[in-house]
Amino acid sequence: MTDRKIVFYPEEKMILTGEKKTILEASQKAGIAIEATCGGKGTCGKCRVRIQHGAREPLTNVEENFLSSSDVEKGIALACQCRGYGNLEVFVPEKGNELSRKLSLESKKVLLDTDLRKEYLELEKPHVHDFRSDANRLIDGLKGKQINPLQLDVLSTIPFILRENDFKVTAVLAGNELLVVEAGDTRNKIYGVALDIGTTTVVGFLLDLCQGLVIGAASRTNKQNSYGADVISRIQFSNEQDNGLKCLQEDVLSVINEIINELTQQNGIDIGSIYQVLVVGNTVMSHLFLGLSPAALGKSPFIPAFSSMTVIPAYALGLEINHRAQVIVLPNIAGYVGSDTVAALLAVKIDKYTGSAMMIDLGTNGEIALACDGRLYTCSTAAGPAFEGAHIYHGMRAVKGAIEKVRIDKTVTVDVIGNVAPCGICGSGLIDAVSELVKAGIINNNGRIMSQKDLDGKIPEELWHRLRHSSSGQDFVLYYGTTDADDIVLTQRDVRELQMAKASVRAGAEILLKEADIKARDLNAVMLAGAFGSFVRKESILSIGMLPRVDERVVYSVGNAAGEGAILALSSENERNHAQYLARKATHVELSLRADFNRSFRDACAFM
Ligand code: FES
């Protein structure tokens, strides 16, 4: 078999690949992130790339289904389908910059209460009346503090560092553990990184742990995306492919190393000065990060391999920071309620509310928590990744070019992230669009997009012309494209996807209320967490019936609560302990075991 060369642009990254490999498989080997919502099964049409040079095999049936003739003329191909006859040059479209909607925590001041500290020591040199070992001399210099037995790799460096630096050194300690001994006085350099590993996006925050300040933030698409948009596809890939787990772990670690590199370079910081990394993520992401098999999470009763807080040295994972740094993974609550939810609960101080409060985190998964009279309940809804734009015909994540808001009166007005011509619609835009179309009578209570015949003379003419019949049913044109770009439409299938997602969130929320034996009107707060929750209009989310019936005034966004919680837990040992308390305190309600879930779900499907 002869190897073929594929060069990926704009990175200009070259990879040699076997002739049977698709572009997607080659990109995975090359570490190039191509959005592959269905994990390469040929059902999503999201893995579009452009062949810049080279001949390809004929279009597959899947491509014929998803690509228009103008796409084909432009060289657009589906990466999971396309193979080259020889060498190829492939352009992977930029997925936009996510920072604008994700990272609002930069420059945040935090209260320091960390167990991480440095002590500068000027030690007495050995002499004929002082035979103490180097290690004992150092520990004595720490003035009787309880220090755990030293690890061999620390011990092996001490004699050299002491003598090369005239016995003037800095000891870096985390609790009772001596992490590392450094030359000279480095007390003003203590940094940590808080990481929120999302199924779609990984976000990192760099903290100056001397000043108590978030000094940088960076994010990257999770490279695991090319194995599927949701956690189920990742579990399947890990179970079914040789080296699948290793591959997924390497992908997320490489994204994290890129983030840390960017943060340290931008701030002129030595990576060796990062001594702690605090990690949160959904339970599957935490498993993959640690290289633990998520197999048991893929089937009932969805048991995680671990649930307590876990601390491991950076060198065990290959993180490019101080090799002795501590990597702390916050506890998870259940198979589908992870440490990101724990961090979010910590950030919003859910247990401090008087009365009852609900928090809903809508990302690729939908987690819900309810605090009430000292009790805490959680559940996870199979909301699916519709809110991230997956399984939506023109769906995309909330990045530049995504329609994020829609208003409909006599015509349609859209707001687009980055103020550019739109190329798709993200979750908040989708909810707006459906909410507005229901109000305009264009979508009925059952979620059906009405036809031109149904609405003849009943709606403004401009809107009436936007209704179209397509092979998949009725569509509504949200934005007319140009000669170079297609119209952006909302399809009947999109509406059904949203109905399923919103009904599962609503049903989950109703079941938690039932479990706590309270009514929706008893809720003092309904907090929407996550980037999505920050940008969705609350009147739209309420009008499509995604939330229990509450007053609009009690609904509010709490921003990137998981990221904020990770920052708190990194900067304060008390907060970290409190996170563990919250995780232990939570009673998890497994919706798949609830006989009343299906009825609640059915009731919640309609647009009332
Ligand atoms: S169609 Fe290619 S990844 Fe889904």
- Residue 463 sits at φ, ψ, to 5 deg, of -70, -40
Q: For position 71, what pLDDT does the model report?
A: 83
How does pLDDT run across 262-308, given as a tens digit for each residue?
A: 999 999 999 999 999 999 999 999 999 999 999 999 999 999 999 99
Q: Is pLDDT of 17 > 70?
A: yes
Cβ atoms of 339 and 404 within 8 Å: the answer is no
Q: For position 383, what pLDDT does the model report?
A: 73
How does pLDDT run across 377-409, given as a tens digit for each residue?
A: 999 998 766 787 778 999 988 888 999 999 999
Cβ atoms of 425 and 392 within 8 Å: the answer is yes
Identify which of 378, 350, 349 has the alpha carbon closest to the alpha carbon of residue 365. 378
Q: For position 99, what pLDDT does the model report?
A: 40
Give me the amino acid identity at 241. Q
Q: For position 104, what pLDDT does the model report?
A: 60
Identify which of 194, 196, 191, 195 has the alpha carbon closest to the alpha carbon of residue 212. 191
Ligand 1 midpoint to CA 437 (Å): 29
Instruction: Out of 36-50, 121-135, 220-234, 290-304, pick the least confident.
Output: 36-50
* Closest approach atom of ligand 1 to CA 80: 2
d(Cα 583, Cα 376) in Å, to the nearest integer? 9
Cβ of 37 below 6 Å from ligand 1: yes
Under the banding of pLDDT at 50, 70 and 90, the label for residue 98 is: very low
Residue 596 C-alpha from the chain's centroid: 30
- Rounded mean pLDDT of 409-432? 93
Best of 32, 78, 82 for a ligand 1 pocket test (most atoms within 8 Å of beta carbon): 78
Cβ of 25 below 6 Å from ligand 1: no
Cβ atoms within 10 Å, residue 117: 15
Cβ of 80 below 6 Å from ligand 1: yes
How does pLDDT run across 468-497, given as a tens digit for each residue?
A: 998 778 999 999 987 667 799 999 999 999
- Rounded mean pLDDT of 122-132? 95
d(Cα 267, Cα 451) in Å, to the nearest integer? 56
Q: For position 527, what pLDDT does the model report?
A: 95
Q: Is pLDDT of 65 > 90?
A: no
Cβ of 78 below 6 Å from ligand 1: yes
* 3-class SS of residue 225: helix
Q: Is pLDDT of 506 > 90?
A: yes
How does pLDDT run across 174-226, given as a tens digit for each residue?
A: 999 999 999 999 999 999 999 999 998 899 999 999 999 999 999 998 999 88
Q: How far is CA 566 from CA 172, 267, 328, 362, in A?
A: 22, 20, 10, 18
* Closest approach atom of ligand 1 to CA 35: 3
Domain locations along the chain: 4-91, 193-198+230-329, 337-608
Q: For position 107, what pLDDT does the model report?
A: 65
Under the banding of pLDDT at 50, 70 and 90, the label for residue 23 is: very high
Cβ atoms of 374 and 427 within 8 Å: the answer is no
Ligand 1 midpoint to CA 51 (Å): 16
d(Cα 547, Cα 545) in Å, to the nearest integer? 6
- Rounded mean pLDDT of 162-168? 98
- Rounded mean pLDDT of 313-333? 97
Q: Is pLDDT of 97 > 50?
A: no
Under the banding of pLDDT at 50, 70 and 90, the label for residue 13 is: confident
How does pLDDT run across 436-446, given as a tens digit for each residue?
A: 999 999 999 99
Ligand 1 midpoint to CA 124 (Å): 66
Under the banding of pLDDT at 50, 70 and 90, the label for residue 331 is: very high
Structure ipTM: 0.99
Q: For position 514, what pLDDT does the model report?
A: 97
* 3-class SS of residue 36: coil
Q: For position 410, what pLDDT does the model report?
A: 93
Cβ of 82 below 6 Å from ligand 1: no
d(Cα 529, Cα 307) in Å, to the nearest integer? 22
Q: For position 384, what pLDDT does the model report?
A: 65
**What is the rounded radius of gyration, in angstroms, for the C-alpha atoms of the chain?**
27
Under the banding of pLDDT at 50, 70 and 90, the label for residue 328 is: very high
- Look up tokens 């949203």; give the residue: 498
Q: Do domains 4-91 and 193-198+230-329 have the same CATH topology?
A: no
Instruction: Burial-class residue 583 by CB neighbours within 10 Å (0-12, 13-18, 19+).
Output: buried
Maximum CA extent, the chain: 104
Q: For position 95, what pLDDT does the model report?
A: 56
Ligand 1 midpoint to CA 254 (Å): 23
Cβ of 45 below 6 Å from ligand 1: yes
* 3-class SS of residue 138: helix
DSSP 502-531: HHHHHHHHHHHHHHHT--GGGEEEEEEEHH
- Rounded mean pLDDT of 61-88? 89
Under the banding of pLDDT at 50, 70 and 90, the label for residue 111 is: confident
The CATH superfamily holding the domain 4-91 is: Beta-grasp domain (3.10.20.30)
Which CATH fold topology does 193-198+230-329 show?
Nucleotidyltransferase; domain 5 (3.30.420)
Average pLDDT along the chain: 92
b/e 277-313 (16+ beta carbons within 10 angstroms → b) = bbbbbbbbbbbbbbebebebbbeeebebeebebbeeb
Cβ atoms of 393 and 493 within 8 Å: the answer is yes
State what percent of residues in the chain have pLDDT above 70.
Answer: 97
- First-residue to last-residue Cα distance in the chain: 60
Cβ of 212 below 6 Å from ligand 1: no
Best of 46, 48, 59, 63 for a ligand 1 pocket test (most atoms within 8 Å of beta carbon): 46
